[in-house]
Structure 1
Amino acid sequence: MEFKDQLHRVISLEGGSKRIISLVPSQTELLCDLGLQDALVGITKFCIHPKELRKKVTVIGGTKQIHLDKIKSLNPDIILCNKEENTKEIVEACEGICKVHVSDIYNLEDSLNLIAQYGALFNCQLKAEKIVETIKAEFNEFQDFVKDKPVVSVAYFIWKSPWMAAANHTFINYLLNINKFENIFGHLERYPEIEPNKLDTGRAPEFVLLSSEPFPFKEIHKNKSQEIFPKSKAILVDGEMFSWYGSRLMAAFKYFKTLRLNLHTQL
């Protein structure tokens, strides 16, 4: 059968059992929630959900650096990549081994489309439809919750040394908008480096959101962020909720509701 990935590339895939390699943590979690854990033969070292998976499945490297010999030895039928997480060079190298599906996620529609694509690719449409329906219901409930909430200005940092923020044309920025968070770096592109000594402190956000990933911000980093934005309140947030698409979205909107209530008490 022929399928199209999210870059509109045509993939021909024979029916029957699949040997799957996933190079994206959030997609690995989705595969497991679709009941495909036993089909996984290779994952990255960052594929930490479900917790026991790395004890059972071969780790083939990270999202940016992979061991091609390991991948070849696993004889995969298909390798699952993402345009942002994996480099063009990785995708091209994997195409020399087997079929490659590339996702490209910017918003909720893209996420739901990916789930549906996996349902069709791996013959688990009913499970995919159930996940999609759950996410839609959670999203609609959150929209009702947040519609009368005030807009709150934020800066969302993903890295330290150098300081890097999430900006426009990212899934994180899309979810910030859904939360009615005004991203003060929303006029910039992707993940810009931020030079603290060049910031306009007069445009300080109400909250500085410090993500748990990819840099693992902790309590000790709050003080440093307060030096950058002395008039802002620093908050640690779950980066997986803001950047993991797929089945993680089933839990994300409840998390956003709790976060929003927490911020409201500190305004």
Structure 2
Amino acid sequence: MKRLRFLGVALLVFAVLVSGCIGNGTTQTVTQQVKTTETVTETIAPTHYPLTVKDFADREVKIEKKPQRIVSLAPSVTETLYFLGALDSVVGVTKFDDYPPGVQGGREIIGGFSDPNIEVIASLQPDLIIGTSMHLKYLDQLEAIAPVIILDPKNMEEVYRAVQLLGDVLDEKGKAEGVVEFMKAEVEGVKFRVANATRPKVFFISWWNPIYTPGKNTFQGDLIELAGGENIFSDLNGWAQVSMEDVLARNPDVIILSAHSGITPEEVCKSELANTNAVKNGRIYVVSDDNAISRPGPRLVDALKELSYFIHPEAYGYSFQPVSCPVEG
């Protein structure tokens, strides 16, 4: 009887031990499976590509992978790519690209801004082409080579959008946000300086004969307003041709000349503009860098600051020497 009792206890102990071993083994296996699952989860990271974006021509463009060979069809595009740190991926630029200095070195010249050489572009085997609305007429030919992004910003807000769009396309959102935040800070700095100043009437001469000037929906017109001026032709759309009679009727307080406008301050003094408040008070200025003010890219903030110096020198503690027009003898 004692033997049977002992044998029963022994069998019970043995069963418990076996049960424990099986339980422990199962637990270890589950733990290993959990660890394996966690490892797999950690190694699967979301990818940025393929990516579909909408460009300024309202086109949906699919980018399969991070662009490594980019052709830029406009100097403003090249400059924006530079600020995004993407110049190493640019293989082709126009003959007019000059910023940053030396940008043409080691890159193929694909022609002019309005007349790109399609064969040269194709020979570069790009995986992305970036142009402007000027290049829509070449779109079918370009799309046969690579995906095409069209940029066409008309004011500062749209310039921000263009920077962010390229940041998305290049998987450089952080850099794009940094560029935009810097630009916005510069703009806010100018707006703060001129916030309480009166707004003089400003006439910007893009070209003299015939007279062309920026109206609304132009980044130059936008800069005049941001710099604390009143663009006298803000009621016109785009870059508009205007008559001398229109200019005289609006009597600008400040005249700003594009560096390549085809007229000098001295010639303005001798023109029919001599009777305007701007000429009478010697408030005629010439921009120092036509490219900075005519290319819709990050350098527009430099142009904005210069325009604000011209329009509101008192906001910076400056006193520009008025232009002294020659007196007829």
Q: Write out per-residue CA displacement over residues 57-99 of structure 1, whole angstroms, 9 at most, x where no aligned residue.
A: 111122211111111111111111122xx14313343223221
Greater fraction of residues in strand: 1
Q: Give me the whole-angstrom Cα distance separating, in 2, the residues matched to 1:112 and 1:183.
A: 22
1:27 positional shift: 1.7
Higher CA-based Rg: 2
Asked if the contact 1:42/1:57 (under 8 Å) is kept, the reply is yes
Asked if the contact 2:205/2:261 (under 8 Å) is kept, the reply is no
Partner of 1:89: 137
**Letter matched to residue 193 of structure 1:** Q
Q: Give me the whole-angstrom Cα distance separating, in 2, the residues matched to 1:78 and 1:121.
A: 10
Q: Give me the whole-angstrom Cα distance separating, in 2, the residues matched to 1:44 and 1:115.
A: 20
Partner of 1:246: 297
Q: Give me the whole-angstrom Cα distance separating, in 1, the residues matched to 2:219 and 2:124.
A: 32
Q: Write out per-residue CA displacement over residues 93-130 of structure 1, whole angstroms, 9 at most, x where no aligned residue.
A: 32232211111212222111111111111122221121
Residue 55 (1) aligns with residue 112 (2): no
Residue 77 (1) aligns with residue 127 (2): yes
Q: Give me the whole-angstrom Cα distance separating, in 2, the residues matched to 1:149 and 1:240.
A: 28
**Letter matched to residue 142 of structure 1:** V
**Aligned to 2:258, which of 195, 211, 225?**
211
Greater mean deviation of Cα atoms: 249-258 or 97-106: 249-258
1:175-214 paired onto structure 2 within 5 Å: 175-196=223-244, 198-199=245-246, 201-212=248-259
Partner of 2:264: 221
Q: For residues 88 and 225 of structure 1, do their structure 2 counterparts lie closer, same or farther at Cα, with a shift above 3 Å needed?
A: farther
Greater mean deviation of Cα atoms: 186-195 or 131-140: 186-195
Compare relative contact order (CA 8 Å, sep 6+) and give the higher one, 1 or 2. Answer: 1
Greater fraction of residues in helix: 2
Q: Give me the whole-angstrom Cα distance separating, in 2, the residues matched to 1:200 and 1:251.
A: 27
Q: Give me the whole-angstrom Cα distance separating, in 2, the residues matched to 1:113 and 1:37.
A: 20
1:153 positional shift: 0.8
Asked if the contact 1:241/1:255 (under 8 Å) is kept, the reply is no
Secondary structure of 2:223's match? helix
1:17 positional shift: 4.2
1:28 positional shift: 0.6
Partner of 2:167: 119
Partner of 1:14: 64
Q: Give me the whole-angstrom Cα distance separating, in 1, the residues matched to 2:210 and 2:110.
A: 28
1:19 positional shift: 1.0
Q: CA RMSD in A?
A: 2.3
Mark the runs of 5 or more structure 1 residues left unpaired by the alignment.
none
Q: Percent identity?
A: 27
Secondary structure of 1:6's match? coil
- Counting matched residue pairs gives 260
**Letter matched to residue 204 of structure 1:** N
